[in-house]
């Protein structure tokens, strides 16, 4: 990444870091969608798992040592937010930390793909900074996500999953 792009990336990270909630270990975002699909949440400040899985990678991509603890906190929260109980939703995440899979209108099966790919990218690119325990936890989360993806058995023509 050239210096201009890196500087812009770091500036955007710093803008987002102010929304980090230490009590949850995730960043929050303002959500206002009266017609939201899958979720019963409509308006408020919520911790969206997909935003956080992408943000953790962005923090690590920035290359700053100071951002590693926040990225690790987010990754731990990502692992803990995934359904680990064998059953229909095994390997899925809800949209938000504030709403369980059971509380949603219905689970969104894309969450295994969207969050799983970000976690997989994290262990591929940043295994050296994760530590053995977190690396192992993320690896297991990836396996659970893959289990969900395989059970869903979506063909390649499904356009939402790339």
Could you read off the pLDDT of 128-142 as tens digits, one per residue?
A: 999 999 999 999 999
pLDDT at 33: 87
Helix (H) or strand (E) holding 51, with range, is helix 49-61
Alpha-carbon distances of 30 from 44, 96, 140, rounded to whole Å: 6, 12, 30
Q: What is the overall mean pLDDT for the chain?
A: 93
Judged against a pLDDT cut of 90, whether residue 78 lies above it is answered with yes
Three-state secondary-structure class, residue 105 = coil
To the nearest whole percent, how much of the chain has pLDDT over 70? 94
Q: How many residues does the chain have?
A: 162
What 3-state class would DSSP assign to 21? strand
Model confidence at 152, in pLDDT bands (50, 70, 90)?
confident
* Vertex 89: Cα angle to 88 and 91 (nearest 5): 125
CB count within 10 Å of CB 20 equals 18
Q: In the structure encoding, which two tokens stand for residue 87, read together?
A: 């059953």
* E strand or H helix at 20: strand 20-21
Mean pLDDT of the region 149-159: 74
For residue 148, is pLDDT > 90? yes
pLDDT value of position 12:
97
Using the predicted structure, report yes or no on whether residue 64 has a pLDDT greater than 80.
Answer: yes
**Over 60: is that where the pLDDT of 161 sits?**
no
**Tens of pLDDT, residues 4-22:** 999 999 999 999 999 999 9
């Amino acid at each position: 990444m050239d210096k201009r792009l890196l500087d812009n990336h770091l500036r955007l990270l710093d803008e987002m870091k102010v929304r980090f909630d230490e009590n949850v270990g995730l960043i929050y975002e303002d959500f206002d969608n009266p017609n939201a699909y899958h979720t019963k949440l409509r308006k408020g400040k919520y911790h969206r798992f997909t935003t956080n899985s992408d943000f953790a990678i962005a923090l690590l991509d920035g290359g700053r040592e100071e951002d590693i603890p926040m990225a690790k906190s987010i990754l731990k929260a990502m692992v803990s937010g995934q359904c680990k109980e064998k059953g229909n939703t095994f390997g899925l995440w809800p949209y938000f930390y504030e709403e369980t899979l059971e509380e949603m209108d219905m689970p969104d099966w894309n969450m295994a793909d969207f969050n799983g790919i970000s976690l997989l990218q994290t262990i591929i690119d940043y295994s050296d900074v994760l530590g053995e325990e977190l690396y192992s936890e993320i690896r297991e989360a990836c396996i659970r996500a893959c289990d969900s993806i395989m059970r869903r058995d979506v063909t390649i023509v499904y356009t939402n999953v790339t």
